[in-house]
Amino acid sequence: MIKLGAMYMGGAVRPKEFALAVERAGFHSLWAGDHILHYVDGIATLGCFAGCTNRIELGTSVIVVPFRPPAVTAKGILTAAWIAGREIIAGFGPGGDVPKEFDVCGANINERGAYTDEALEVMSLLWRCEEVSFEGRWSSFTNVRMQPGDAPKPKIWIGGRSEASLRRAVAHGSGYIPYLIGPDQLERRVAWLHKIAKTEDRNLDGFTVACATFMIPANSVDEAVAIGQSNVGFQNVTPERMAAFYILGNRQDRLDRVQQYIEAGATHVVLGCAPGRANQLERFVEAGQELMDDLRPNLAALV
């Protein structure tokens, strides 16, 4: 069964307004992006979502792990899960798309993969909410316990496009959520994922393959590209890249592209709302509801 999510990336609409509109519209999931110099902080936004929604599945797509000490990230996400009173999908990735954000955080972009691997071990350990110890390259502690112990333990999904990310997903995750890749690229990565899992003797039953992209509804693909190009958040994105990786155009255009992702192996499609004018939220929600109508009866039931 297919799920549709909505991802908040900043703009004129505040996180609480976005969250309430998305939950009311019937989306399956609600996601926070993560940036330091633009858009929004993922953990702060997740906390806002946790406090103002009641039912919708919550996640991060994705927290850039090297920006923070792993214990700080683990505590923030566990707190959000405790506030929400339900399981959080903690999407993690090593980042790298915005090198200046590594500079401002004092993080080494050349060590981001190794740092992420160790951090995933640390966070999984701390989320046991029992007394634990760890000795690693970046983290070292003895006999510590993270509270609140009654918070639902987050699920880990892994983002990224590289072989290392796929191996990370097999080793640590219950889901894979790449960002801005085309259906053909997703199909190749799904095959690659299963090949790695077989080599590592990992059973992928219950494992989720998702994809995250942007959706810009319009009367045509060309009009949607023009809307995207006028958005301050997308001014450095070429029309060719938008056409290759975004969900654009009219109702049929959007349905066709989503079905391509589904045929490539995705069972959870996360649609980013372009950070821009306030009236884009209304059109985004309407377009999402059209997709949900068009995808039935293959759409998962709401919780």
Tokens representing 236 are 């450095």
> Who contacts 55 (Cβ-Cβ below 8 Å, separation ≥6)?
23, 302, 303
Rounded to whole angstroms, how far apart are CA atoms 130 and 271?
36
Enter the pTM of the model.
Answer: 0.96
Domain boundaries, the chain: 3-295
Counts for the chain of helices (H) and strands (E), in that order? 11, 12
pLDDT given for residue 43 in this prediction: 98
Element (H, E) at 78: helix 70-84
**pLDDT at residue 278, rounded to an integer:** 66
Q: Does a cis peptide bond (omega within 30 degrees of 0) precede residue 40?
A: no
Structure tokens at 266: 């995705």
What per-residue confidence (pLDDT) applies to 232? 62
In Å, how far are 125, 165, 272 from 84, measured between CA atoms? Answer: 21, 28, 22
Contact 287, 217 (CB under 8 A): yes
| The domain made up of 3-295 is a member of CATH 3.20.20.30 | yes
Q: Residue 45 has what pLDDT?
A: 97
Q: Are strands 132-135 and 140-144 parallel, antiparallel or unpaired?
A: antiparallel
Residue 22: per-residue pLDDT? 97
pLDDT of residue 262: 98
Low-confidence spans in the chain with pLDDT less than 50 = none
Question: How far apart, in whole angstroms, are the C-alpha atoms of residue 58 and residue 81?
Answer: 9
